[in-house]
Amino acid sequence: MQQLVFAVGTMVAGVLGCAAYFWGTSYILDLIFPSKGRSGVEASRNLRITNAIRPWLFLAPALFALTIYLIYPVIMSVWFSVHDRAGQNFVGASNYVWMLNDGEFRQSIFNNFLWLLVVPALATFFGLVIAALTDRIWWGNIAKTLIFMPMAISFVGAAVIWKFIYDYRAEGTEQIGLLNAIVVAFGGDPQAWITLPFWNNFFLMAILVWIQTGFAMVILSAALRGIPEETVEAAVIDGANGWQIFFKIMVPQIWGTIAVVWTTITILVLKVFDIVLAMTNGQWQSQVLANLMFDWMFRGGGDFGRGAAIAVVIMVLVIPIMVWNIRNAAKEMKGH
């Protein structure tokens, strides 16, 4: 309880501090370069100076935090990745060489590509289908809310929920895991799903699909509603059926949004860590890059060189999407 009071206190202090900074610097700036009540030339000169400085005062705290917490670490990670486990001696590319020869790393890369193929595709597909279907029924909004709900659940919470579904009891005893109960009801043998090499990846992916479908649905639903009515009406008049309208008229018009959803989920997949840690911790050949990296950060006292090298690999995989995002944003700003 005491720490909660401390937290609220810090929060208030932080907010007041920020407010004081923004107000104070603004005030001082106006004091040094006053523009009110001065003669024409001096006033306009001072106004020009304050207008040039003020944006940077407004930006300074944000730029400082971004630099310390994101830009500096990106540079330092690359630096650490060519140094030894304590980050002291330069070792060249040996961390990367180790990586290429490490079976667990190759396993992680393989699994990560599986995740990249399956999760964005399935989540986008389900999201699109659900968005299209729920638009046609009166209780569509309730359905959407319920499917959107897993978005709010933490990866760890979701892992517990699904581990319960995959729970395995020895053959002959009553299954309390839903999946095994269904399998047994249909006459199959119960399986310890998350310990089955290769296939367990898909059982872990199901969790992320379950969480992310709501996100895809919300964005795609808005995009579908933005489609001009005339195009659909014209297709109806031309005698197109439901499938044709959906796949040939509607989907092509929202390709851009589909790509955004796809890439957003792709980024998330590259960073997936909590689910694997909570479900298998990389055992039974289910390791992924983010969990492997976390492993190396702390395993045996921690090997920062190898951990950083794995982080750099994740970063490199993200860069194409980053470039694409920046280009899109730039294009959009020119359009304004």
Partner 1 sequence: MNPATRSPLTWAVHLSVLLLVALWTLPTAGLLISSLRDKDQLAVSGWWTALSTSTQNIVARAPGADTQVERDGKFVISGDVLEGTAAGEVSAFGFSSQKPTAFKAGETAELNDGEKLTVQADGSFEIVSDTKMEGSRGQRIFFTAAIPPRFTFDNYVEVLSAEGIGASFINSLTVAIPSTIIPILIAAFAAYALAWMPFPGRAILIAVVVGLLVVPLQMSLIPLLKLYNGVGAFFGVPAKTYVGIWLAHTGFGLPLAIYLLRNYMAGLPREIMESARVDGASDFDIFVKIILPLSFPALASFAIFQFLWTWNDLLVAIVFLGAGQDELVLTGRLVNLLGSRGGNWEILTASAFITIIVPLIVFFSLQRYLVRGLLAGSVKGG
- Report the site for partner 1 in 194-213 (rule: CB under 8 A): 210, 213
Exactly one of 49, 118, 235, 321 binds partner 1 (CB under 8 A); that residue is: 321
Exactly one of 103, 172, 239, 256 binds partner 1 (CB under 8 A); that residue is: 256
Q: Is position 73 an interface residue for partner 1 (rule: CB under 8 A)?
A: yes
Shortest Å, Cβ 283 to partner 1: 12
Shortest Å, Cβ 174 to partner 1: 6
> How is residue 289 written in tokens?
């890059």
Judged by DSSP in three states, 18 sits in: helix
Q: Is position 276 an interface residue for partner 1 (rule: CB under 8 A)?
A: no
Q: Which stretch binds partner 1 (CB under 8 A): 102-110, 112-120, 192-200, 272-280?
A: 272-280
Closest by Cα among 9, 30, 216 to 122? 216
Q: Which stretch binds partner 1 (CB under 8 A): 89-97, 108-116, 193-201, 293-301?
A: 293-301
Nearer to partner 1, 111 or 264 (CB): 264
- Distance (Å, whole) CA 128 – CA 108: 29
Nearer to partner 1, 10 or 42 (CB): 10
Exactly one of 37, 40, 41, 70 binds partner 1 (CB under 8 A); that residue is: 70
290 in Cβ contact with 148 (< 8 Å): no
Where do the H-state alpha helices sit in the chain? 2-32, 40-66, 72-81, 94-101, 103-134, 140-148, 155-165, 178-185, 199-225, 229-237, 242-244, 251-253, 255-270, 274-279, 289-298, 304-335
Q: Which helix (H) or strand (E) covers residue 175, if one does? A: none
Closest by Cα among 184, 159, 157, 186 to 170? 184
Q: Is position 190 an interface residue for partner 1 (rule: CB under 8 A)?
A: no
Burial label, 321 (beta-carbon count in 10 A; 0-12, 13-18, 19+): middle
Nearer to partner 1, 261 or 285 (CB): 261
Q: Is position 28 an interface residue for partner 1 (rule: CB under 8 A)?
A: no
Q: Please give the size of the binding site for partner 1, defined by CB under 8 A.
A: 122
Q: Is position 295 an interface residue for partner 1 (rule: CB under 8 A)?
A: no
Torsion over CA: 165, 108, 66, 336 (sign): negative
Nearer to partner 1, 60 or 117 (CB): 60
Q: Which stretch binds partner 1 (CB under 8 A): 88-96, 106-114, 115-123, 314-322?
A: 314-322
Binding pattern for the stretch 83-102 against partner 1, x by CB under 8 A and - elsewhere: ----x---------------
Which amino acid type is present at position 237? Answer: I
Exactly one of 31, 41, 152, 237 binds partner 1 (CB under 8 A); that residue is: 152
Closest by Cα among 170, 281, 264 to 218? 264
Exactly one of 201, 264, 286, 287 binds partner 1 (CB under 8 A); that residue is: 264
Burial label, 137 (beta-carbon count in 10 A; 0-12, 13-18, 19+): exposed
Binding pattern for the stretch 154-173 against partner 1, x by CB under 8 A and - elsewhere: xxxx-xxxxxxx-x------
Judged by DSSP in three states, 78 sits in: helix
Q: Is position 176 an interface residue for partner 1 (rule: CB under 8 A)?
A: yes
Q: Is position 15 an interface residue for partner 1 (rule: CB under 8 A)?
A: yes
